[in-house]
Structure 1
Amino acid sequence: MKFRNFSLAILLLTTTAMVSQNISIDSLHRPRNYHIQVNQFESYPNSKEDIIFLGNSITAGTSWSELLGLPNAKNRGISGDTTFGILERLDEVIEGEPAKVFILIGINDIAKNYPDEIIVSNYEKIIDRIKKGSPETKVFIQSILPVNNTFTRYKNHYNKDEHILAINKELEKLAQTYNVNFIDLHPHFLDEEDRLSKKFTEEGLHLNATAYKTWAQILQDYLN
């Protein structure tokens, strides 16, 4: 696996800055199969017609090409990934100069209690690097989805609703600042108690087939 020095430098600087502020964050933690999947992504051919779906397990949980009926839709989701992980592997996305990149990341950062401002700052770095490294790529920031604390499987992810809403608000501002698209998925998946609806999930975090169909319908206006 070859890592780009630029990506690692950003991560090390970020980690150093957080240590100097007495904030304890393991920004170098990666999911167990992270490096294997990144190696696979690097081995795939690139096309400027690619539509990249970039994120964590929420993104990884479907076949985007089949769901959308688009052969050029590529899944770049890694289960357990964070904004730091996206920054480390972002060059693999940028070098292909894809037509579009749809980004959804952050719920694992929230579960690890990363400060909201760090998550938003990482998002800003992601947007800035894509715009500089692949200026013709259209960037789509998707709001972090709700969770449902009536389940018990992913306790670290539940009861973080205020953080999800706060970060989503800042992501919308970032999208305006950088003149990229903001897709507010969050309200489409809520129940009457402002939680992730049980019709969309089996355990309060990940999505089922009904949820992905709903997501695909929301995206139709952004795919042409």
Structure 2
Amino acid sequence: MRIPLAQLRTDGAARRLFNAGLLALCAIAALPGLAQAGTIRILALGDSLTAGFGLDETDGFVPRLEAALRAQGYDVTVLNGGVSGDTSAGGLDRLDWALADKPDLVLVELGANDMLRGLDPATTRANLDKILARLGQEKIPTLLAGMRAAPNLGPAYAAAFDPIFPDLAKAHGVALYPFFLDGVATVMALNQADGMHPNAAGVKAIVEHIAPAVIELIRSSGLAKTG
């Protein structure tokens, strides 16, 4: 109901009501991040493949994934938890720090450097198991991105390494994206000169492939969609 200003000058009760309402509106407007209250925070916990090694900032996996999800109408912020050269042990060591950002969903992309260094797959499995267990304790929906052993490491290493990801996804009940570099690995036109890190076109392909899995997890987890 609109109260005439002349009445406000003489009606003490109405004036107090008006002032209380004004203060409440000011308090609401002052709340930090209110406009972003519905934003889904996605943590990409990984290595150089997540960090965007060798790429312009806008061409990395994190900004490209965020742009792709926003283009589909999802109000998201993708947090770059990638550290170049990181192993599964490094990801585990900094997990607490990464979770301080309070993500609503986590994409785990670790293990490539373990494989490239020829580390014992049992150690990689144990580290990823601990990461997924912690995320489970926090009840954070998780997408585990798989990796595959390079052929030069031999069939015995691949037999121990490759099953880590589907095994752990099943054990912890998390979503699995079988191979992070699907369609990009070994394709020279999609990789930088080192043959291991995707170029801008390679990142674009990775995002096109993995985005539907991220969207499916957003939906199945009941996280908000806007658009």
TM-score of the pair, normalised by structure 2 = 0.63
Q: Deviation of residue 117 (structure 1)? A: 0.8
The separation in 1 between residues aligned to 2:181 and 2:81, in whole angstroms, is 24
The separation in 2 between residues aligned to 1:116 and 1:106, in whole angstroms, is 9
Q: Note the 1:155-170 alignment, pairs <5 A.
A: 159-160=152-153, 162=155, 163=157, 166-170=160-164
Q: Where does structure 1 differ by over 4 angstroms across 4 or more consecutive aligned residues?
A: none
Of 114-123 and 69-78, deviating more is: 69-78
Give the aligned partner of residue 23 of structure 1.
none
Q: Deviation of residue 216 (structure 1)? A: 0.9
The separation in 1 between residues aligned to 2:115 and 2:179, in whole angstroms, is 17
TM-score of the pair, normalised by structure 1 = 0.64
Give the aligned partner of residue 209 of structure 1.
200
One-letter amino acid of the structure 2 residue matched with residue 160 of structure 1: L
Q: Note the 1:6-85 alignment, pairs <5 A.
A: 49-61=40-52, 62=60, 64-69=62-67, 70=70, 72-85=77-90
Asked whether the 8 Å contact 2:46–2:109 carries over to 1, the reply is yes
Q: Note the 1:179-190 alignment, pairs <5 A.
A: 179-185=173-179, 188-189=182-183
Deviations 1:61-90 (A, max 9, x none): 115234431450111101111111111110
Unaligned runs of 5+ in 2: 1-37, 53-59, 71-75, 219-227
Equivalent residues, number: 162
Give the aligned partner of residue 99 of structure 1.
104
Deviations 1:9-55 (A, max 9, x none): xxxxxxxxxxxxxxxxxxxxxxxxxxxxxxxxxxxxxx982111111
Asked whether the 8 Å contact 1:53–1:74 carries over to 2, the reply is yes
The separation in 2 between residues aligned to 1:200 and 1:124, in whole angstroms, is 31
Q: Deviation of residue 160 (structure 1)? A: 3.1
Give the aligned partner of residue 189 of structure 2.
199
Percent identity (aligned): 23
One-letter amino acid of the structure 2 residue matched with residue 52 of structure 1: L
Unaligned runs of 5+ in 1: 1-46, 148-157
The separation in 2 between residues aligned to 1:217 and 1:170, in whole angstroms, is 24
The separation in 2 between residues aligned to 1:67 and 1:48, in whole angstroms, is 15
Q: Note the 1:114-125 alignment, pairs <5 A.
A: 114-125=119-130
